[in-house]
Amino acid sequence: MDARVIIQEALIQKGFGSVGFNSGRLCRVLPSNEYSDDFLKKNILLVRHGRTDWNDAHRFQGRTDVPLNAAGRVQAEKVAARLAGWSVDVIYTSPMTRARETAAAIAAPHGKSPVVLDDLTEVNFGSWEGLFLEQVREQNEERFQEWLLNPFFCMPERAETWDTIRARAERLKETVLRSSYQRVIMVSHGGTIRALFAVLLGFDPRTVWNVKTFNCALSGIEVRKNQSFLAFSNDVLHLDKNLEGIPLPVW
């Protein structure tokens, strides 16, 4: 019997799965639905959408489809200029108009079309959508303070639960891991980006809202199958007027 066949059979019996030889070197053959820690590394840039009139007025937006305002469109152009030189394989976006407008600006210099992922949409704030923060505070000060301390677990009536939010973030993680794309931009929303911090980085969902995520801010995460690393968070250098025209690093 060929020595290579003996080695293959021995390794399979030891639980190494399918193995083979490539140019004389032993290698493991991975099924199409399995990923290898040895070769898997994804760089994800999370981008929050630009400003809207509701952001400026401190109103709960959630699933309400509010477009960018003039300031938000300027922010989108600035983040697009910063990312124009960053090699990207795919640009995913929430289906909400404010996110799609931001993603379109980012995609233009790359000659790409953003890919809509429904799971990138914002958290549904139920009965609070459309209300001003002060309105909610006046209606029920105690409930509002509880929400400020623990948003994902003190949501209003008819709002999305943490279980469904987490499930969306888990599906987004799988989308990235199972794709062939190595450098990914995701344009989303404050609540969903924080949920991704919790799922990708292991942050406590009860305190992850303490992480600030400004409009058109960049956050960089290096993702592997079993571990992820936060490279930077809430980077808004491109929005600083004093830095206009100065090349800024990305990642």
Query: What is the model's pLDDT at position 242?
Result: 85
Say what the alpha-carbon torsion angle 175, 177, 178, 181 is, to the nearest 10 degrees. Answer: 90
Query: What is the model's pLDDT at position 31?
Result: 45
Q: Can 58 be counted among the known catalytic residues?
A: no
Query: What is the model's pLDDT at position 23?
Result: 44
DSSP one-letter code for 124: P
Q: Can 134 be counted among the known catalytic residues?
A: no
Q: How does pLDDT run along the chain (251 residues), one tens digit per residue?
A: 555 545 445 544 544 444 444 444 544 444 444 554 444 689 999 999 999 999 999 999 999 999 999 999 999 999 999 999 999 999 999 999 999 999 999 999 999 999 999 999 999 999 999 999 999 999 999 999 999 999 999 999 999 999 999 999 999 999 999 999 999 999 999 999 999 999 999 999 999 999 999 999 999 999 887 889 999 999 999 999 888 888 888 88
Query: What is the model's pLDDT at position 13?
Result: 53
Q: Is the Cβ–Cβ distance between 62 and 122 less than 8 Å?
A: yes
Give Cα separations from 45 to 13, 48, 131, 145 (angstroms): 41, 10, 31, 32
Query: What is the model's pLDDT at position 153?
Result: 97
In the chain, alpha helices (H): 3-13, 53-57, 70-83, 97-107, 133-139, 141-149, 162-178, 190-201
Where do the domains of the chain lie, and which CATH numbers do they carry?
1-34 (no CATH), 42-243 (3.40.50.1240)
Query: What is the model's pLDDT at position 247?
Result: 82
Which of 45, 188, 26, 208 is closest to 123 using CA atoms? 188
Query: What is the model's pLDDT at position 1?
Result: 54
**C-alpha to C-alpha distance for 3 and 11, rounded to whole angstroms:** 12
| Annotated active-site residue in 49, 110, 189, 238 | 49
Query: What is the model's pLDDT at position 90?
Result: 98
| Annotated active-site residue in 122, 160, 189, 238 | 122
Q: Is the Cβ–Cβ distance between 228 and 43 less than 8 Å?
A: no
Sheet of 115-116, strands arranged across: 115-116, 90-93, 183-188, 42-48, 218-223, 228-235
